[in-house]
Amino acid sequence: MTPPTLLRPVDPREVRFFSGSSNRPLARAIAEWLDIPLTPTHISRFSNDNLYVQLGGSCRGRVVFVMQSLSPPVNDHLMELLMMLDAARGAAAREVHAVIPYFSFARSDKKDAPRISITARLVADLLVTSGATHVMTMMLHSPQVHGFFSLPTDPLTARAVLANHFRNEDLEGAIVVAPDMGSAKSAARFADNLGVPVAAGNKERVADNRVVISSLVGHQVEGFRRAIIFDDEIATGSSVIELARLLQQRGISCVDVASTHGVFVKGALNRLHSESVIRNIIVTDTVERAADSAHPRLRVLSVAPVFGEAIQHNWHRQSIGTLFDYGQELEDSPAG
């Protein structure tokens, strides 16, 4: 893939693009899309287990992009990111952009128990302290997390990437269903993109890996044959499984799952595979999949073009409105 011709390419002499260890394949794909080198990052550990991070190229006076997904092991990857940002600032970078495809701490977005940290806000503050001048991420767990950042922050969307996967299919008799009301608005945008109705589950989380979905809100699913469950993230898969079972009880014979972040912990893929009603699981590459973890029902789509276009527009001081999570959908033309 090559960048749109309406904008000049990013100047590789003025830009440095680095990656931590969490998702180097996506970093390489973004760099390739931009036609710039992925400058090496040297990461190791001292004998006392402290991390050692060194950026492998000069940052002085340059615009620096540092890419790191906060995927497991989350705390190690967060520390890598903070150290890379601090190193770029200390090396006199002109701008320091933190590119975080998966911001896992977004799930800690409220104080729902006494004496706990709103960790999403804490991490947002740490990014500023470490030297970031701008943050680029994708599909935050809830919109209010955007407000935790005190520096310019662009939450991008993968809805168009996921929707393009389904556009060539026969969607007659299909309905999009969100697991809960928190993801209902995003699911509604996705359904509108596909031209199908939308419904949402009434979900109660009783534990980290256990939820109860007692009913559906919005459009009734009776009479539909196929459902597309749309969510921002699949971790243990409990929400998807609970919803898929409810939909099957309501007469749905086929369920596809579409999600931006495929984290898949605690045997989630095998648990999803055991549900006969679930046909396909579609995710993006914001979280790296191990090379030996191929799964017959799993399809991974790349968001490298979305991040590449956002970086290119940012470099040229152009709007990225059509890539924005709460804005219009990604079109064939560049962002306006």
Domains of the chain by residue range: 15-158+304-323, 159-301
From residue 44, how far is each of 51, 66, 81 by CA, in Å? Answer: 6, 17, 14
Give the pLDDT band of residue 292 (cuts 50, 70, 90).
low
CB 254 within 8 A of CB 225: yes
Q: What is the gyration radius of the CA atoms in the chain, in angstroms? A: 20
pLDDT tens digit sequence for 206-254: 455 565 665 687 678 888 999 999 999 999 999 999 999 999 999 999 9
What pLDDT is attached to residue 81?
Answer: 98
Question: What pLDDT is recorded for position 180?
Answer: 86
Residue 332's pLDDT is 38
What percentage of the chain has pLDDT greater than the value 90? Answer: 71
pLDDT in tens, 113-145: 899 999 999 999 999 999 999 999 998 887 788
pLDDT in tens, 65-100: 999 999 999 999 999 999 999 999 999 999 999 999
Q: Cα–Cα distance between 102 and 233 in angstroms, integer?
A: 9
**Domain 159-301: CATH architecture, name and number where available:** 3-Layer(aba) Sandwich (3.40)
Compute the CA torsion angle 257, 282, 253, 228 (nearest 10 deg). Answer: 50
Q: For residue 55, what pLDDT is reported?
A: 98
pLDDT bin (cut points 50, 70, 90) of residue 329 is: very low
pLDDT band at 323 (very low <50, low <70, confident <90, very high): confident
- DSSP codes of every residue in 266-283: TTHHHHHHT-TTEEEEEE
Q: What is the pLDDT of residue 48?
A: 96
Strands 226-234 and 210-218: unpaired
Confidence (pLDDT) at 65: 98
Query: And the tokens for 295?
Result: 């799964």
Task: Give residue 9's pLDDT band: very low, low, confident or very high (50, 70, 90).
Answer: confident
Give catalytic status of residue 203 as yes or no: yes
Tell which CATH architecture fits domain 15-158+304-323.
3-Layer(aba) Sandwich (3.40)
CB 106 within 8 A of CB 120: yes
Question: Stretch 13-38: mean pLDDT, rounded?
Answer: 97
What was the pLDDT predicted at 330?
Answer: 40
Mean pLDDT of the chain: 89
pLDDT of residue 213: 65
Region of poorest pLDDT, from 72-76, 161-165, 246-250, 326-330: 326-330
d(Cα 275, Cα 160) in Å, to the nearest integer? 27
Name the catalytic one among 110, 111, 203, 266: 203
pLDDT bin (cut points 50, 70, 90) of residue 336 is: very low
Check residues 183 and 12 and name the one with the higher pLDDT: 12
pTM for the whole thing? Answer: 0.90
Summarize the confidence of residues 43-48 as an average pLDDT. Answer: 96
Whether 50 shows a pLDDT value over 80: the answer reads yes
